[in-house]
Amino acid sequence: MESSFQVKTMAEYSSSGEHPDILFWVGCAGSFDDRAQRITRAFAAILHKVDIRFAILGNEETCTGDPSRRAGNEFLFQMMAYHNIQTLNGYGIKKIVTACPHCFNILKHEYPELGGHYEVIHHAVFLQQLISEGKIILKGGGEFRGKRITYHDSCYLGRGNGIYEAPREVLAALDGELVEMTRCRSRGLCCGAGGGQMFKEEEKGERRVSLERVKDILESRAGIVASACPFCMTMLTDGIQGAGKEDIKIMDIAELVLQSM
């Protein structure tokens, strides 16, 4: 069990005249969804273990506005974005790390046009950097030794930003056996949550996208599915349960890394 530790907010750093190395942007899912909160705690625990000074915004963090823009409410998006940019710029934030590809994409590519210019890194890339620099040392012979692990490419991380290798390099550092699904990388299948679908009822169709994706998982014969997106985590978990395959574990790469440290 990970020992408890104090996570400081930007307000606390600012009041003492200090500045963290990075801002950890938690995101809506990581803040409020019970399952995604475990991802948040795992990533924070890793940062704590490797002595990286990080902060969160806490109550000052609000939604990036990504779901609003994807759903077509541009006015609401800009209201949210300007509010966040004012907060971030007020603290002089330069470097942001987030475990959500949706937050990553919009902060990196769509905030600059509104005055928000930051170095934005997804946690999969950040973890890969820490491993390659020797700051994260993974122990061999852990609980993942010999386990078949497959990786689900998040749309915004993969096709949206061309990030395919970093998460796979993280998984390759584990003692498991990395196996690919037939539809992977640029041909990866969406989990079904994109474009604001996470927050609305499904349109009528022949079958649910999450169940279609589970077919690929089953064909890979993997016992663990590695994810790097809280939305994908929700949809894949629903799909696995819907297919009656609860013995297959869905885990974020931060959780896999923490358990292997």
Residue 120 has pLDDT above 90, yes or no: yes
CATH architecture for segment(s) 10-128: 3-Layer(aba) Sandwich (3.40)
Same fold, 10-128 and 139-260: yes
Q: Where are the domains of the chain?
A: 10-128, 139-260
CATH class of 139-260: alpha beta
The structure's pTM equals: 0.92
pLDDT per residue over 24-80, tens digit each? 999 999 999 999 999 999 999 999 999 999 999 999 999 999 999 988 999 999 999
| Contact between 224 and 189 (Cβ < 8 Å) | no
